Structure 1
Amino acid sequence: MDVALQALTVLAAIALGVRTKGLTVGLWGAAGVLVLVWVFGLPPGSVPTSAIFVIFAVVTAAGAMQAAGGIDYLVGIAQRVIRAHPNQVTFIAPYVAWLFATGAGTGFVYYSILPVIYEVAYGNKVRPERPMAIAPTASQMGITSSPVSSAMAIMVGLMAPLGFEITNILSIVLPSTAIAIGAAAFVQNKIGKPLDRDPVYQARLAAGEVTAPEPVDIGVASASAKRSTWIFGTGILLILAFGIFEGLRPVIPGADGPEPLAMTTMIQIIMLIVALVILLWCRTRSADVPRAQVFRSGMSAIIALWGVSWLANTFIAANEDSIVEGLGGIADNAPIFIAVALFIVAALTTSQSSATIAIIPIGITLGLEPWQLTAMWMAVIGLYTFPINGSQLATIELDATGSTRISRFVIYHSFTIGMLVMAVVSVLVGLGIGGIFYG
Structure 2
Amino acid sequence: VPATLIGLFIGALSVYKKGLELDQDPEYQKKVAEGLFKDMDAGVAETKMKEVSSKAKLSVAIFLISALAVVLIGTFPELRPHVTNAAGKSMTVGMTQMIEIVMLISAGLMVMFCSADPGKITSSSVFKAGMMGVVTIFGLAWMSDTWIANNLPMIKSEVAEIVGSRPYLFAIAMFIVSALTHSQGATVGAMVPLGIALGIDGHTLVAMYPAVCGYFIIPSTGVLLAGVAFDNTGTTKIGKWVVNHSYIIPGFVATFASVVAGFAIRYIFF
TM-score of the alignment, normalized to the shorter chain, above 0.5: yes
Q: 1:309 aligns with which of 117, 134, 141?
A: 141
Q: Which residue of 2 aligns with 1:375?
A: 210
User: Residue 397 of structure 1: CA displacement?
Assistant: 5.7
Structure 2 length-normalised TM: 0.61
In 1, the alpha carbon distance for the partners of 2:133 and 2:5 equals 26
In 2, the alpha carbon distance for the partners of 1:243 and 1:434 equals 29
**1:45-101 Cα shifts (integer Å, max 9, x gaps):** xxxxxxxxxxxxxxxxxxxxxxxxxxxxxxxxxxxxxxxxxxxxxxxxxxxxxxxxx
Whether contact under 8 Å (1:253, 1:259) holds in the other structure is yes
User: Residue 429 of structure 1: CA displacement?
Assistant: 5.0
Which residue identity does 1:285 align to in structure 2?
D
Which residue identity does 1:225 align to in structure 2?
A
User: Residue 377 of structure 1: CA displacement?
Assistant: 3.0
Q: Which residue of 2 aligns with 1:262?
A: 94
- The correspondence of residues 68-107 of structure 1 with structure 2, limited to 5 A, is none
Q: Which residue of 2 aligns with 1:181?
A: 8
Q: Which residue of 1 aligns with 2:182?
A: 356
- The correspondence of residues 208-219 of structure 1 with structure 2, limited to 5 A, is 213-216=41-44, 217=47, 219=49
Distance 1:278 1:257, change over 3 A: same
Whether contact under 8 Å (2:141, 2:181) holds in the other structure is no
Whether contact under 8 Å (2:174, 2:212) holds in the other structure is yes
In 1, the alpha carbon distance for the partners of 2:228 and 2:14 equals 21
Which residue identity does 2:103 align to in structure 1?
M
Q: 2:117 aligns with which of 268, 285, 294?
A: 285
In 2, the alpha carbon distance for the partners of 1:431 and 1:381 equals 22
Secondary structure of the 2:83 match is strand
**1:269-327 Cα shifts (integer Å, max 9, x gaps):** 11111111111221212333322222222222222123222222222222332222222
**1:245-265 Cα shifts (integer Å, max 9, x gaps):** 111111234789754321111
Q: Which residue of 2 aligns with 1:365?
A: 190
User: Residue 328 of structure 1: CA displacement?
Assistant: 3.0
Q: Which residue of 2 aligns with 1:422?
A: 254
Q: Which residue of 2 aligns with 1:73?
A: none
Whether contact under 8 Å (2:159, 2:170) holds in the other structure is no
User: Residue 337 of structure 1: CA displacement?
Assistant: 1.1
Whether contact under 8 Å (1:184, 1:418) holds in the other structure is yes
Q: Which residue of 2 aligns with 1:249?
A: 80
In 1, the alpha carbon distance for the partners of 2:96 and 2:40 equals 49
Which residue identity does 1:235 align to in structure 2?
S
- Structure 1 unaligned regions, length at least 5: 1-171, 196-200, 202-210, 346-353, 400-405
**1:400-419 Cα shifts (integer Å, max 9, x gaps):** xxxxxx9xxxx999977644
Whether contact under 8 Å (2:111, 2:118) holds in the other structure is yes
Q: Which residue of 2 aligns with 1:224?
A: 55
**1:162-216 Cα shifts (integer Å, max 9, x gaps):** xxxxxxxxxx5xx655443333455666x69xx9xxxxx7xxxxxxxxx993242
Q: Which residue of 1 aligns with 2:176?
A: 341
Distance 1:421 1:238, change over 3 A: same
Which residue identity does 1:299 align to in structure 2?
M
In 2, the alpha carbon distance for the partners of 1:282 and 1:433 equals 49
Distance 1:309 1:183, change over 3 A: closer
**1:375-412 Cα shifts (integer Å, max 9, x gaps):** 2233444568xxxx8749x698669xxxxxx9xxxx99
Distance 1:271 1:373, change over 3 A: farther
Secondary structure of the 1:335 match is helix
- Structure 2 unaligned regions, length at least 5: 25-38, 197-204, 220-224
Secondary structure of the 2:42 match is coil
In 1, the alpha carbon distance for the partners of 2:58 and 2:265 equals 36
Secondary structure of the 2:170 match is coil
Whether contact under 8 Å (2:66, 2:103) holds in the other structure is yes
Whether contact under 8 Å (2:175, 2:213) holds in the other structure is no
CA RMSD in angstroms comes to: 4.8
In 2, the alpha carbon distance for the partners of 1:415 and 1:396 equals 16
Q: Which residue of 1 aligns with 2:222?
A: none
Which residue identity does 2:80 align to in structure 1?
R
Whether contact under 8 Å (2:188, 2:212) holds in the other structure is no
Whether contact under 8 Å (2:144, 2:181) holds in the other structure is no
Identity, in percent, stands at 22
